[in-house]
Amino acid sequence: MTGKSQLGDFLQARRSQLRPADVGVPTYGERRRVPGLRREELALLAGVSASYYTRLEQGQSLSASPEVLDAIAGALRLDESERRYLHDLARADRRRTRGRRPVPERVTEAAAQLLDALADVPAMVLGPRSDVLAWNRLGHALFAGHLDRGAPDLSGQRPNMASLVFLDCHTRDLYADWPSKARAVVGNLRLVAAQHPQDTALHALLGELSAKSSEFSSMWADHRVKACTVATYEMRHPLVGPLTVVQQTLSHGPGPSTVVATTEAGTPSRAALVLLAQAVTQDPVPADPARTGPRAGTA
């Protein structure tokens, strides 16, 4: 998964998803072999030559300026997240180097303090690859109560939320609209992959998910990009039943981020969350970190 091939694949995929009628390109009733825009049509909309755009899409040009990329982004009707993704892919293309082993991830002091302050709200700290670095009692109970609570502290056994969403039956059943959650996970991983093109652990994760989940492979090939900052999900928790939560991702810069789940006051969802908090409070003994079991995900 080089930046070069990903850039070309992304441009080609998004061009094929944009119909002429979407951008006012006349077809004069002609029969077209593909529903999307042709290269020359996209190049005309972006104000670049068809030959130059073709070279860019084929990965034969590494010199696209930010202005040209912005023009292409405008022609493709990309949103802000997709526009940043396009620029990230181009930068990765220009500075391709050998893969690097990732630096060990850890919970920052600021993130640890935030997790402590959110004792009454489900929360967890995730690394860029969606590895669970830490979670509070309620976060563990809501998102992965079937796993050992001490799993994030086990060497080589940290749960990975992307793996759980696609490969773990319990997590899949948590989301009433699982495809929506799955697409959000894939869209976020695409952003991370463009920002960290030399991350060998990330490439290993993507390879594992592609090999083990045909649904992930199909969604990844769609080249949709989505920043998972705020999203509403209907969950079906095995202990407290259905509840609707707003999942928000609080970023701490390029490192770990904190995911929190909130509910609307005075609703059955809030009552279900209070009931879950009472249930986990009645069991003050954390799971034994020495007890291993089936791995929930890989880093």
CB 76 within 8 A of CB 87: no
| Domain shared by 62 and 124, yes or no | no
| Domain shared by 203 and 258, yes or no | yes
273 within a domain of the structure (yes/no): yes
CATH number, domain of 217, equals 3.30.450.180
* 3-class SS shares of the chain: helix, strand, coil, % to 5: 50, 15, 40
| Domain shared by 23 and 128, yes or no | no
Q: Which of 226, 228, 254, 231 is nearest to 128 (CA)?
A: 254
CATH number, domain of 12, equals 1.10.260.40
Query: How confident is the model at residue 28, as a pLDDT?
Result: 67
Classify 250 in phi/psi space as left (phi over 0), alpha (psi -120 to 50) or beta: beta
Query: Of the candidates 71, 94, 117, which is a domain's last residue?
Result: 94
State the Rg of the chain over Cα. Answer: 22
| Domain shared by 120 and 264, yes or no | yes
Tokens of 104: 């060990």
Tokens of 216: 């992930």
Name the residue range of residue 49's domain. 3-94
| Domain shared by 89 and 122, yes or no | no
295 within a domain of the structure (yes/no): no
290 within a domain of the structure (yes/no): no
117 within a domain of the structure (yes/no): yes
Rounded to whole angstroms, what are the CA distances from 194 to 77, 140, 187, 290? 19, 29, 11, 36
* Neighbouring residues of 289: CB distance < 8 A, sequence distance ≥ 6: 148, 150, 151, 153, 154
| Domain shared by 216 and 251, yes or no | yes
Could you tell me how far CA 282 lies from the centroid of its own chain? 34
> Burial, 62: exposed, middle or buried (Cβ in 10 Å; 0-12, 13-18, 19+)?
middle
| Domain shared by 182 and 234, yes or no | yes
Query: How confident is the model at residue 99, as a pLDDT?
Result: 52
Order the strands of the 132-135 sheet from edge to edge.
132-135, 123-126, 257-262, 241-251, 230-237
The count of domains in the chain is 2
Q: State pTM to two decimals.
A: 0.80
**Per-run averaged pLDDT (10 residues), the chain, 299 residues:** 66 88 75 81 92 87 84 92 89 63 76 90 94 95 95 87 97 96 94 88 94 96 84 96 95 82 96 94 53 41
Residue type at 139? G
| Domain shared by 166 and 251, yes or no | yes
286 within a domain of the structure (yes/no): no
Query: How confident is the model at residue 297, as a pLDDT?
Result: 46
144 within a domain of the structure (yes/no): yes
Dist. CA 2–CA 93, nearest whole Å:
7
* Neighbouring residues of 245: CB distance < 8 A, sequence distance ≥ 6: 122, 142, 232, 233, 235, 261, 262, 263, 269, 273
Query: How confident is the model at residue 36, as a pLDDT?
Result: 85
